[in-house]
Amino acid sequence: MATQSKGGKGLFEKFAEKVTKATGSTPVFLGAFLIVVVWAICGPIFDYSETWQLVINTGTTIITFLMVFLIQKSQNKDSLAIQIKLNELVASHELASNRIVDVEDISEEEMEVLEKYYQKLAALAQKTRSLKESHSIGEAQARHEMKVAEREKSKAKSPGRKDSDSKAKKASAKTQTTNSKSQSPKTPNSKPKPTQNSK
């Protein structure tokens, strides 16, 4: 799945990702800083003329103008990925409300209602337990053990094991039916042979 999504990226998307990663790196920052230093050193040579000022102003304006769109493009994708991951977490949890999924699309008034709800929930949580009690090392150990037990249960209920269990049950049922047929008494149709004493 990951290779397909990577292969499906557009040319502009790839370019935006590479540029935003490069601009955030140390060598690019040092290069930009060096350009500014060289420009400042060249000031006395060009007698601080308008052309000298125009070079740095035009260059920085063009770079900033283009970088705004590239950064916004990559930021939109990152925020969308985070929203999808959060929606998956909300949807997969049994006690979480599905109304929170795609909450960024609701109105501001509805968000204020949700905010009041969670503020009330936080206030109730502060009354019942302190942060040290609710996030203790003992609770972390208990959660870890619970997750390990759930994994073991899911492994035990895997489809391959279910198939083998069902096959074993069918085989045992067949053997029981054959044993019961062999041990069953003779039918009333089979008459005993008459003996000589009966004459």
Could you report the per-residue pLDDT of 59-75, keeping only the tens digit for each? 999 999 999 999 898 88
Query: In this structure, are residues 10 and 74 in contact, taking their beta carbons and an 8 Å threshold?
Result: no
Question: pLDDT at residue 195 above 60?
Answer: no
Tokens (6 digits) for 134: 């609710």
Query: In this structure, are residues 100 and 88 in contact, taking their beta carbons and an 8 Å threshold?
Result: no
Residues near 61 by Cβ (< 8 Å), separated by ≥ 6?
A: none
CA atoms within 13 A on the CB side of 29: 5
Return the percentage of the chain with pLDDT > 70, whole number. 70
pLDDT of residue 126: 77
| Residue 166 banded pLDDT, cuts 50, 70, 90 | low
Residues near 102 by Cβ (< 8 Å), separated by ≥ 6?
A: 83, 87
H or E segment to which residue 96 belongs: none
| Residue 29 banded pLDDT, cuts 50, 70, 90 | very high
- Read off the pLDDT of residues 80-106 as tens digits, 9 standing for 90 and up: 889 889 888 888 888 777 778 878 788
**Roughly what angle, to the nearest 10 degrees, separates helices 26-41 and 50-92?**
160
Query: In this structure, are residues 101 and 91 in contact, taking their beta carbons and an 8 Å threshold?
Result: yes
Q: Average per-residue pLDDT in the chain?
A: 78
Question: pLDDT at residue 129 above 50?
Answer: yes
CA atoms within 13 A on the CB side of 115: 8
Question: pLDDT at residue 9 above 50?
Answer: yes
What amino acid occupies position 125?
A
Q: Cα dihedral sign for 53, 54, 55, 60?
A: positive
